[in-house]
Amino acid sequence: MRESSIVLYDRALGWLRPLGHLVDLAIRLDVALAFFKSGLVKIGNWSGTLYLFQSEYHVPLLPPHFAALLGTFGELFFPPLLALGLAARFSALSLSVVNAIAVISYWHVLGSNEAALSSHYYWALLLLITLSHGPGKLSLDHLVAPLVCRRRCAVPTQGNRP
């Protein structure tokens, strides 16, 4: 009886592992889409974006115009990388910074709006998943890693040692 339950467990894992790779992809796509749409809105109405950064968003340490440029760049540049799974951990980290700065800069509104704040927590959690274990097998990072590792991780032969 014990062997049959082990076989069933192994079979179930065999079915669930590919599902995990699809979940990793879905997480990356969901977060990337949310941030990219926000960047498109900002660039689509640049004068409105500048107004918001000058009057509503209180980005610490940065002039409003530079904060608007940097935030819009982050929301347009990193989401495609995250979606493709290329430099995915770096992209997830960068979007985590954008997300944290958005919460800090707009806390006077988000602090009293539980639904809007929950969205930022949700994105932070999803980005943490990618940060903690990578983008998964359905990513360009997974395809590129063996090529990079072959160059960096090559064990030197006796003739190559200094």
Of 98, 2, 89, 88, residue with least CA distance to 59: 98
Helix axes 114-133, 88-105, angle to 10 degrees: 160
Comparing C-alpha atoms, which of 49, 12, 10, 32 is closest to residue 98? 32
Alpha-carbon span 78 to 99, nearest angstrom = 12
Which whole number is the average pLDDT over 115-126?
Answer: 95
Calculate mean pLDDT across residues 117-137: 96
- CB neighbours (10 Å) of residue 124? 16
Render pLDDT for 18-67 as a digit per residue (tens, 0 to 9).
899 999 999 999 999 999 999 999 999 999 999 999 999 999 999 999 99
> Which pTM value belongs to this model?
0.85
What's the pLDDT tens digit per position in 53-96?
A: 999 999 999 999 999 999 999 999 999 999 999 999 999 999 99
